[in-house]
């Protein structure tokens, strides 16, 4: 089974509660789920959140929307993924994060097709500094067996929190492939980490959704090119800002 597993929690440090924040009348996660479910190469879409009481609203959301979900450790997200994949017998994991409401299902399908060729253990479009995709189109794919290996062998707090760091840091163990576009669109940002991001995503949905409910990554970029003032709102914001605290935790743990 090929399953998209979306991680989400309420306690975001930069924009708390963002995953359930109303966006054009619907929770942010609702928009993302709709788009992910449109990917043709997926057998299942599920969500993993934490056992912390603060994440009870996410569980309630999943119940109400009939979304398969699992709950686990708040900080050991790697364990959260492993336990969910084991419980639901997932063979291939498509890792997504819950702050990407504009993920393009065609991007998901494309990377799954690359992965299915069987040449690589880990396929993604996120590897820095060589990512050419806009932030908010992040897709990572790997097998259950390799997830299990990472789960058994990962010791650093950053590896446990960010799930796939162990793959990135061990190219001698895993065959890693970073899919790149012909055009470098990495300067565009339509994930949601800050209030400015939310304003941009809301504008994009209001303008593009009525014309095409599954508007593409290319259509979003065209819209932003036509609305440069909007694009400037989050141009100075940094991607992956949460990584620094994880690396600090590594140092505290003696790594």
For strands 122-124 and 22-23, give the pairing.
unpaired
pLDDT of residue 93: 98
Helix, strand, or coil (residue 155): coil
Q: Where are the alpha helices (DSSP H) in the chain?
A: 28-37, 56-65, 77-87, 105-116, 144-153, 157-162, 165-168, 195-208, 217-226, 228-232, 243-252
Instruction: Find out whether 91 and 21 touch, Cβ atoms under 8 Å.
Output: no
> Which of these CATH numbers, 3.90.550.10, 3.60.15.10, 3.20.20.70, 3.90.1150.10, describes 2-252?
3.90.550.10
Q: How far apart are CA 245 and CA 109, in angstroms?
A: 32
Q: How far apart are CA 108 and CA 96, in angstroms?
A: 10
Ranges of residues in the chain with a pLDDT under 70 are 236-255
pLDDT of residue 36: 98
Annotated domain spans of the chain: 2-252
How many alpha carbons lie under 13 Å from residue 46 in its C-beta half-sphere? 25
pLDDT of residue 132: 94
Long-range contacts of 55-62 (CB under 8 A, 24+ apart): 55/9, 55/10, 55/11, 57/10, 57/20, 58/8, 58/9, 58/10, 58/19, 58/20, 58/29, 61/20, 61/27, 61/29, 61/30
pLDDT of residue 252: 55
pLDDT of residue 245: 55
Q: What's the pLDDT tens digit per position in 99-114?
A: 999 999 999 999 999 9
pLDDT of residue 7: 96
């Amino acid at each position: 089974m090929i399953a998209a597993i979306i991680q989400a929690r309420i306690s975001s440090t930069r924009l708390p509660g963002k995953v359930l924040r109303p966006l054009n009348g619907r929770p942010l996660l609702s928009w993302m789920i709709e788009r992910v479910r449109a990917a043709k190469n997926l057998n299942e879409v599920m969500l993993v959140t934490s056992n912390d009481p603060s994440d009870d609203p996410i569980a309630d959301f999943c119940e109400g929307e009939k979304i398969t979900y699992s709950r686990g450790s708040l900080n050991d997200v790697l364990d959260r993924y492993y336990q969910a994949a084991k419980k639901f017998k997932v063979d291939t994991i498509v890792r997504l994060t819950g702050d990407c409401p504009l993920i393009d299902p065609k991007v998901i399908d494309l990377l799954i097709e690359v992965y299915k060729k069987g040449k690589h253990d880990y396929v993604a479009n996120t590897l820095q500094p060589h990512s050419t995709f806009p932030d908010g189109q992040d897709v990572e794919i790997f097998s259950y067996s390799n997830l299990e290996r990472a789960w058994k062998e990962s010791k650093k707090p950053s590896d446990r929190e960010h799930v796939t760091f162990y793959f990135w840091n061990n190219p001698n163990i895993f065959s890693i492939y970073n899919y790149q576009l012909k055009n470098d669109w990495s300067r565009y940002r339509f994930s949601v980490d800050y209030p400015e991001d939310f304003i941009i995503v809301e504008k994009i949905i209001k303008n593009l959704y009525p014309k095409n409910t599954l508007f593409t990554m290319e259509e979003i970029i065209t819209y932003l090119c036509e609305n440069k003032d909007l694009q400037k709102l989050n141009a100075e914001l940094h991607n992956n800002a949460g990584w620094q605290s994880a690396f600090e935790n590594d140092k505290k743990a003696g790594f």
